[in-house]
Amino acid sequence: MALNTLFDNTQTAFKLKSDSELERAYFLFKMISKEPLVKIGTVATKVALNLNLPVEGLIRSTVFDHFCGGVNEKDCMGVVDNLYSAKVSSVLDYSVEGKQENAQFDATMQKVLELTEFAKNKDAMPFSVFKPTGFGRFEIWRKLSENEPLTTQEKGEWRSIQDRYETVCKTAHSCDISLLIDGEESWMQDAADDLCQAMMAKYNTEKAIVFNTLQCYRWDRLDYLKEQHAKAVAGNYKLGFKVVRGAYMEKENTRAQEKGYPTPICESKQATDTHFNAVMEYILDNLEDISLFIGTHNEESSYMALEILKIQSSTKKRHQSMVWTIIWHERSYKLQSSCSRLQCCKIHSFWTCKGCYALFNS
């Protein structure tokens, strides 16, 4: 199969979907493409749920079943197993951020621990994941990143954040589950990066367990990556990185303009694509030291990664390091949720390197 036509193969992309499921998906996306309907539906759903009207069955049979994996981790397993039959792995994502109380942060940590333990010994679920602000207040991260002094109370909060990181990273290491730590806004990210680097130095001595995130719409990420690589080589530990483009562009540019500093964001979409590909290529050229999780819906970047892997495979330049690709595009799908009162787990689906190499050998 030619690599440059891989994503045109709808038979492969939709082979886990029945005709009725595809028809429902088409209908749903036609509906949510109409902004007035989305606004009305959102308001109506919130009102119905607040009034305890019997609408959860309707939600479950339509929007929920298309976008969500289940109401809890066990309920997700049918979807997870079905995806894995096509060599697609999954990660359960308990997405919580922006909380303010220690009890809330401890509850989030406990859920991440449960999901990590749940993934243990499940080939279909090789990752766990969390966000830094799920473990501590945004303001603590910001003050540390901008070198502002912490109050006595805030110092105690920071120690609690460090303890939560330590607990989760230690559990992931003992479970042999790789841990993806999401990236957030640039003005809090330095402190998150430093803490993640410390966890890598401690738990990535044999292979990458702890993964940081590189948001490549930030023009400084390639230089940061090279600095981290040098530190890891000197410290004799492995790096793990999830590479994405980024999710806070408008917020980043607005804050930079308001506060009068240069924006950390690349000047254009093309510059972002070029930077993303450069970061990805650097890691692929250094797989003996760095494990890679490629998070993209960009077909050009996906083809580029596959081509590099194919060349490395044919030239025996493939290392015993993990390369995972998460390919989201209009003919693929991810299962996720942002439900209001329905409790649910988010599932991200991604092709594993085993699946990619199978393409090369077919």
Closest CA to 211 of 291, 282, 145: 291
Among the residue ranges 64-73, 185-194, 254-263, 294-303, the one predicted with the least confidence is 64-73
Q: Quick one: pLDDT band at residue 96, thresholds 50, 70, 90?
A: low
Strand locations in the chain (E): 88-93, 127-130, 178-181, 210-215, 239-244, 290-296, 323-327, 346-351
Q: What is the pLDDT of residues 130-152, one digit of tens each?
A: 999 999 999 999 999 999 999 99
Q: What is the pLDDT of residues 204-220, one digit of tens each?
A: 999 999 999 999 999 99
Residue 54 pLDDT exceeds 60: yes
**CB–CB of 358/347 below 8 Å?**
no
Mean per-residue pLDDT, 357-362: 31
Q: Quick one: pLDDT band at residue 355, thresholds 50, 70, 90?
A: very low
Axis-axis angle for helices 152-175, 138-145 (nearest 10): 100
**CB–CB of 245/296 below 8 Å?**
yes
pLDDT in the model for residue 34: 86
Residue 350 pLDDT exceeds 50: no
Q: What is the pLDDT of residues 280-313, one digit of tens each?
A: 999 999 999 999 999 888 889 988 988 888 888 7
Closest CA to 68 of 86, 53, 56, 54: 56
pTM greater than 0.85: no
Closest CA to 308 of 281, 341, 346, 286: 281
3-state secondary structure at position 128 = strand
pLDDT in the model for residue 87: 81
Rounded to a whole number, what is the largest CA-CA distance in the chain? 63
Question: From the centroid of its chain, how far is CA 189?
Answer: 16
pLDDT in the model for residue 218: 98
Residue 108 pLDDT exceeds 90: yes
Q: Quick one: pLDDT band at residue 331, thresholds 50, 70, 90?
A: very low
**CB–CB of 310/285 below 8 Å?**
no
Task: Name the β-bridge partners of 243.
Answer: 214, 294
pLDDT in the model for residue 91: 86
Identify the structural domains of the chain with CATH numbers, from first to last.
Answer: 69-361 (3.20.20.220)
Give dist(CA 315, CA 299) in Å, integer.
24
Give dist(CA 259, CA 186) in Å, integer.
14
